[in-house]
């Protein structure tokens, strides 16, 4: 497989087209648009209840150029499993089957069917586009909403830390696992290219900021997605056969404070909490170095 | 070929003969043996089918739906809690008009926890838009399942079908079942692919739909369900041409010609009621029986036609809609509305596996005859055998 090595080589064809119903500056829409460049037209996608499920189609119009099914909240990976079983029995081998969920459809209400599909090593790609909150219903906290993030139902900041979804998924021994960020499109596209080539269960977790939920301006989506990587809170890596490879080492490192203070959702976070988070990031960074 | 099969084995053979391509089920008592039998067929090579070993009933139906949308013939089995857990997916399958076929091995819903039969599980799903068929014996389980694929896949219908039979009474009891030849079934049930999710013809399925369209979709869905009642008659006739066995359409009458009091039942009670009617006839009673095979769409017109000459009707309900009575009684009353002289007596019985025998039904008949003679207005419903 030849990896796309520069943005100039990215195919121009749009499979998630303009005219979708997302907000301006929606990180989730960016993520889909980038991923579809690698997945290509022979892809069937199922998306459970979420912003992404609704912005790609409304009434009789759709932004999708591939078969798209807006599934129920709990079961996108199960639907994808059934689609794969049906394609296999018909001898159709060259189609990517993708379940694409937000953080709730992945880590919370959708977790049961995800862990089932992962354990069965279904030949599908599950993607979590993570805006760290339930934006489709106005931004309530979920299990991978960060510690101390303010949401409408955690007005004082979320009292518990984010659960480590990547460790949980890694524990299922997927054929491929990767993190991605909409601020690093080439890295994201290459990961989807690789995932498309590999057989078995593949999991890609994308940090996809939502300006509304994060309390930032709509033109800051990409900037924040990059700062998350630069401050070390979001690492870009992939795992094949359980071996981890960091794919992007940011050119500069910034304090987490710089990332957090740009966002309205961390306004109640005091300096002590920020220092504690910084210490944790530093410790993790040390681990990677040694 | 005749074999001694229990209801679960009959269902598994039906799936094999229908050449189902995707099986997605989660084990539940007493339906699980169907899944084991089909996976055995797959292992020994008598059925080419992909088994999706899901982690829940909710995912089972989701996977079957995905498979059907991608063009495969899909099948699954559940009952009771599993069926309740599938509830929201049931609505997706019917709303998307996907001809999934499911065997439902009826069992009571908790609480209190029960592993035993009644129709409460499926009655709880009466509004979900699936065709719902009930079977009287294991031969009918096999035959109705084969008919279910043809019915659901019919262009005029395009809807999912549940085929109901009772836990233990049918699922674990052996009867002689005649298995049609594979080739004959293949002619009756050709495999026609109509994928909705197809990379060569991309569609967006289940987009957000506003008030300007939603009700129109629902109208079409309901019209299709109504048509299923008519198509069932055709399918039954075609199947009779194949096997000589005609289970009739939505309802079948037994000794109705001059019947004054007619028992109405679904499922295994029908066989018991038939014997009860014979026993009552033997002592000069004008008893009759109406077997309701199709619960959804409810065949009100056929029921009305069959019962036109009767003096009274006795609904035997193996279910309770709390605070409202038996589902069958309610349907009958609605269907017979306007036939002013026709009282409907409603009995709730056999819940959670409580035994109902021939004597129980003859005694109910006698109770009704007395009440009828005394001219008392029937109670909304009464419990029998407490
Ligand atoms: S609310 Fe957030 S995630 Fe949803 S469409 Fe708008 S920007 Fe995207």
Q: What is the pLDDT of residues B212-242, one digit of tens each?
A: 999 999 999 999 999 999 999 999 999 999 9
Does the pLDDT at position B339 exceed 90?
Answer: no
Whether B251-383 and B2-243 are alike in CATH topology: the answer is yes
> What is the pLDDT, as a whole number, of residue A285?
83
DSSP summary character for residue B106: E
Q: How many residues does chain A have?
A: 290
CATH number of A7-289: 3.40.50.970
Write down the mean pLDDT value for chain A. Answer: 96
> What is the pLDDT, as a whole number, of residue B80?
98
CA distance B232 to chain A (A): 27
Q: How confident is the model over B155-209, as pLDDT tens digits?
A: 999 999 999 999 999 999 999 999 999 999 999 999 999 999 999 999 999 999 9
More confident residue, A288 or B114: B114
> What is the pLDDT, as a whole number, of residue A39?
98
Cα distance between residue B382 and residue A81, in whole Å: 47
Cα distance between residue B209 and residue A59, in whole Å: 5
Contact of A40 with chain B, judged by CB distance below 8 Å, is answered with no
Does the pLDDT at position B108 exceed 80?
Answer: yes
Does the pLDDT at position A288 exceed 90?
Answer: no
ipTM metric = 0.97
CA distance A164 to chain B (A): 22
Q: How confident is the model over A113-163, as pLDDT tens digits?
A: 999 999 999 999 999 999 999 999 999 999 999 999 999 999 999 999 999
Q: Is the pTM of this model over 0.90?
A: yes
Question: What count of other Cβ atoms lies within 10 Å of the Cβ of residue A119?
Answer: 13
Does the pLDDT at position B252 exceed 90?
Answer: yes
Put simply, the answer to whether A116 touches B49 (Cβ < 8 Å) is no
Q: How confident is the model over B131-149, as pLDDT tens digits?
A: 999 999 999 999 999 999 9
CA distance B93 to chain A (A): 11
Average pLDDT over residues A61-85: 98
Nearest CA to ligand 1 atom 2: A210
Contact of A90 with chain B, judged by CB distance below 8 Å, is answered with yes
Which segments of chain A are extended strands (E)?
43-48, 57-58, 61-62, 68-71, 96-101, 125-130, 176-181, 202-207, 236-240, 243-248
- Which residues of chain B neighbour A120 with C-beta distances below 8 Å? 52-53
Nearest CA to ligand 1 atom 6: A23
Average pLDDT over residues A21-40: 97
- Which residues of chain A neighbour B69 with C-beta distances below 8 Å? 69, 82-83, 86
Does the pLDDT at position B69 exceed 70?
Answer: yes
Are the C-beta atoms of A26 and B164 separated by less than 8 Å?
Answer: no
Pick the CATH number of B251-383 from 3.50.50.60, 3.30.56.10, 3.10.150.10, 3.40.50.920: 3.40.50.920
Domain borders along chain A are 7-289
Structure tokens at B299: 């065949």
> What is the pLDDT, as a whole number, of residue A284?
87
C-alpha neighbours within 13 Å on the C-beta side of residue B245: 15
Structure tokens at B209: 């739909």
DSSP H or E stretch at residue B236: helix B211-243
Give the model's confidence band at A287: pLDDT under 50 very low, under 70 low, under 90 confident, else very high.
confident
Give the model's confidence band at B21: pLDDT under 50 very low, under 70 low, under 90 confident, else very high.
very high
Put simply, the answer to whether B213 touches A59 (Cβ < 8 Å) is yes
Contact of A86 with chain B, judged by CB distance below 8 Å, is answered with yes
DSSP H or E stretch at residue B14: helix B7-17
List all residues 6 or more positions away from B111 whose beta carbon is below 8 Å from its beta carbon: none
Structure tokens at A182: 């909409």
CA distance A80 to chain B (A): 6
State the alpha helices, DSSP H only, in B57-170.
57-69, 80-85, 87-95, 120-123, 138-153
Does the pLDDT at position A290 exceed 70?
Answer: no
Measured between CB atoms, which of B21, B92, B204 is closest to A68? B204
Give the model's confidence band at A194: pLDDT under 50 very low, under 70 low, under 90 confident, else very high.
very high
Does the pLDDT at position B341 exceed 90?
Answer: no
Q: Which residue of B has its CA nearest to A84?
A: B67
Q: Which residue of A has its CA nearest to B24?
A: A82
Does the pLDDT at position A84 exceed 80?
Answer: yes
Domain borders along chain B are 2-243, 251-383
Does the pLDDT at position B104 exceed 80?
Answer: yes
> What is the pLDDT, as a whole number, of residue A98?
98
Q: How confident is the model over A195-234, as pLDDT tens digits?
A: 999 999 999 999 999 999 999 999 999 999 999 999 999 9
> What is the pLDDT, as a whole number, of residue B236?
97
CATH topology of domain B2-243: Rossmann fold (3.40.50)
> What is the pLDDT, as a whole number, of residue B363?
98
- Which residues of chain A neighbour B67 with C-beta distances below 8 Å? 82-83, 85-86
Contact of A136 with chain B, judged by CB distance below 8 Å, is answered with no
Size of interface A-B (CB pairs under 8 A): 160
Nearest CA to ligand 1 atom 7: A26
Atom of ligand 1 nearest to the CA of A27: 8
Does residue B99 have a cis bond before it (omega within 30 degrees)?
no
Q: How confident is the model over B76-96, as pLDDT tens digits?
A: 999 999 999 999 999 999 999
Does the pLDDT at position A289 exceed 80?
Answer: no
Structure tokens at B11: 């269902």
Cα distance between residue A34 and residue A38, in whole Å: 7
> For a substitution probing ligand 1, which of A20, A24, A26 has the most ligand atoms within 8 Å of its CB?
A26
Atom of ligand 1 nearest to the CA of A25: 7
CA pseudo-torsion sign A172, A173, A174, A177: positive
> What is the pLDDT, as a whole number, of residue A75?
98
Which residue ranges have their beta carbon within 6 Å of ligand 1?
A: A 22-23, 26, 28, 51, 55, 131, 135, 210-213
> What is the pLDDT, as a whole number, of residue A1?
78
Nearest CA to ligand 1 atom 8: A26
């Amino acid at each position: 497989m030849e990896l796309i090595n520069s943005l100039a080589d990215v195919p121009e064809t749009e499979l998630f087209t303009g005219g979708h119903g997302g907000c301006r500056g929606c990180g989730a829409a960016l993520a889909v648009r980038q991923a579809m460049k690698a997945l290509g037209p022979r892809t069937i996608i199922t998306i459970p209840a979420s912003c992404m499920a609704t912005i790609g189609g409304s009434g009789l119009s759709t932004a999708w150029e591939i078969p798209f099914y807006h599934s129920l909240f709990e079961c996108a990976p199960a639907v994808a499993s059934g689609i794969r079983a049906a394609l296999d029995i018909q001898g159709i081998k060259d189609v990517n089957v993708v379940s694409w969920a937000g953080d709730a459809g992945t880590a919370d209400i959708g977790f049961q069917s995800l862990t089932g599909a992962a354990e069965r090593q279904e030949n599908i790609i599950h993607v979590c586009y993570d805006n760290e909150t339930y934006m489709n219903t106005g931004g309530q906290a979920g299990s991978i909403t960060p510690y101390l993030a303010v949401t409408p139902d955690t007005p004082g900041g979320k009292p518990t830390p984010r659960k480590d979804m990547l460790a949980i998924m890694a524990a299922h021994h997927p054929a491929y696992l990767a993190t991605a960020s909409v601020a690093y499109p080439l890295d994201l596209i290459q990961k989807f290219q690789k995932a498309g080539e590999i057989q078995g269960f593949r999991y890609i977790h994308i940090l996809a900021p939502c300006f509304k939920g994060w309390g930032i301006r709509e033109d800051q989506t990409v900037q924040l997605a990059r700062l998350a990587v630069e401050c070390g809170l979001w690492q870009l890596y992939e795992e094949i056969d359980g071996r981890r490879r960091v794919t992007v080492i940011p050119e500069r490192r910034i304090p987490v404070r710089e990332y957090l203070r740009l966002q309205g959702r961390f306004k109640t976070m005091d300096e002590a909490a920020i220092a504690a988070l910084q210490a944790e990031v530093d410790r993790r960074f040390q681990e990677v170095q040694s | 070929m005749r074999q001694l099969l229990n209801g679960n084995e009959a269902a598994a053979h039906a799936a094999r003969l229908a050449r189902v391509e995707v099986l997605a089920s989660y084990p539940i008592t007493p339906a699980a043996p169907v899944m084991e039998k089909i996976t055995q067929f797959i292992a020994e090579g008598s059925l080419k089918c992909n088994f999706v070993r899901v982690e829940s009933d909710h995912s089972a139906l989701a996977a079957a739906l995905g498979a059907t949308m991608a063009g495969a013939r899909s099948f699954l089995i559940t009952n009771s809690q599993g069926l309740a857990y599938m509830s929201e997916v049931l609505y997706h399958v019917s709303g998307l008009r996907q001809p999934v076929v499911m065997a439902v091995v009826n069992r009571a819903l908790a609480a209190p926890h029960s592993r035993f039969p009644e129709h409460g599980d499926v009655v709880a799903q009466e509004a979900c838009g699936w065709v719902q068929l009930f079977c009287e014996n294991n031969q009918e389980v096999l035959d109705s399942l084969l008919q279910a694929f043809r019915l659901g896949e019919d262009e005029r219908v395009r809807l999912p079908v549940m085929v109901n039979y009772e836990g233990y009474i049918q699922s674990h009891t052996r009867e002689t079942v005649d298995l049609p030849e594979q080739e004959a079934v293949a002619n009756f049930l050709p495999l026609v692919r109509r994928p909705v999710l197809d990379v060569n013809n991309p569609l967006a399925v289940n987009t957000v739909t506003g008030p300007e369209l939603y009700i129109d979709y629902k109208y079409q869905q309901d019209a299709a369900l109504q048509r299923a009642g008519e198509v069932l008659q055709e399918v039954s006739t075609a199947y009779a041409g194949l096997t000589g066995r005609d289970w009739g359409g939505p309802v079948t009458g037994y000794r109705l010609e001059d019947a004054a009091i007619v028992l109405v039942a679904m499922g295994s009670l029908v066989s018991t009621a038939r014997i009860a009617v014979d026993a009552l006839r033997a002592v000069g009673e004008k008893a009759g029986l109406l077997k309701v095979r199709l619960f959804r769409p409810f065949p009100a017109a056929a029921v009305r036609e069959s019962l036109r000459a009767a003096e009274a009707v006795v609904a035997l309900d193996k279910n309770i809609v709390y605070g409202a009575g038996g589902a069958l009684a309610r349907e009958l009353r609605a269907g017979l509305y306007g036939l002013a002289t026709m009282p409907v007596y409603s009995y709730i019985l056999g819940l959670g596996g409580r035994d109902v025998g021939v004597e129980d039904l003859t005694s109910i008949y006698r109770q009704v005859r007395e009440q009828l003679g005394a001219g008392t207005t029937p109670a909304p419903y009464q419990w029998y055998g407490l």
